[in-house]
Amino acid sequence: MFPSRAQANHRSPPRAQVGRWIEPHRLPPYPSRSMSSPLRVRIAPSPTGAIHLGLARTALFNWAYARGRKGQFVLRLEDTDRARSTRESETAIIEGLRWLGLDWDEGPELGGDYGPYRQSERIDRHRELMGSLMETGHAYACFCTSERLSEVRERQQAANETPRYDRCCREIPIEEAQVRAASGEAFAVRFKVPTGQTGFQDLVRKEVVFENGEIDDWVMVRQSGDPTYNFVVACDDADMEITHVLRGEEHLVNTPKQVLLYAALGVSAPVFAHLPLLLGKGRKKLSKRDGGVSLSDYRDQGYPREAILNFLCMQGWALDGETDVFDLATFVEHFDLEDVSRGGAIFDFDKFLWLAGEYLHKETDEVLAEHCLPFVVDAGLFNEVDLRARWDWYLSVIAMEKERIRIYSELPGRMAYLCAPDDQVEYLPKAEKGARKHEGRTQTLTDYLAWLPEHSSKPSAELAEETKAWLAEREQKIPLLFQPLRCALTGLPGGPDLFEVMDALGQAATLDRIRAGVERLA
Give catalytic residue positions. Answer: 288
Among 111, 194, 282, 453, binds RNA (CB under 7 A): 282
Q: Which is nearer to RNA, 199 or 380 (CB)?
A: 199
Q: What's the DSSP call for residue 169?
A: T
In whole angstroms, how far apart are CA 264 and each of 2, 223, 268? Answer: 20, 22, 10
Among 212, 341, 383, 443, binds RNA (CB under 7 A): 341
Q: Does 314 bind RNA (CB under 7 A)?
A: yes
Q: Does 145 bind RNA (CB under 7 A)?
A: yes
* Shortest reach from residue 150's CB to RNA, in Å: 8
Q: Does 374 bind RNA (CB under 7 A)?
A: no
Candidate segments 7-15, 35-43, 209-217, 302-310, binder of RNA by CB under 7 A = 209-217
Candidate segments 212-220, 300-308, 435-443, 450-458, binder of RNA by CB under 7 A = 212-220
Among 205, 305, 474, 515, binds RNA (CB under 7 A): 205
8 Å CB contact between 262 and 269: yes
* Dist. CA 93–CA 75, nearest whole Å: 10
Q: Does 359 bind RNA (CB under 7 A)?
A: no
Pairing assessment for the beta strands 345-346 and 197-202 based on DSSP bridges: unpaired
Residues 473-502 that bind RNA (CB under 7 A): 478-479, 482-483, 486, 493-499
* Dist. CA 449–CA 518, nearest whole Å: 9
Q: Does 284 bind RNA (CB under 7 A)?
A: yes
* Dist. CA 424–CA 440, nearest whole Å: 23
Among 222, 334, 474, 520, binds RNA (CB under 7 A): 222
Residues 94-133 that bind RNA (CB under 7 A): none
In 3-state terms, what secondary structure has residue 336?
coil
Residues 399-458 that bind RNA (CB under 7 A): 403-404
Q: Give, for 40, the enclosing helix (H) or strand (E).
A: strand 40-43
Phi, psi (rounded to 5 degrees) for 189:
-115, 125
* Dist. CA 213–CA 195, nearest whole Å: 7
Q: CB within 8 A of 32, min separation 6: which ones? A: none
* Shortest reach from residue 13's CB to RNA, in Å: 17
Q: Which is nearer to RNA, 22 or 354 (CB)?
A: 354
Q: Does 198 bind RNA (CB under 7 A)?
A: no
Q: Does 469 bind RNA (CB under 7 A)?
A: no
* Shortest reach from residue 21's CB to RNA, in Å: 22
In whole angstroms, how far apart are CA 392 and each of 311, 381, 388, 399? Answer: 33, 16, 9, 11
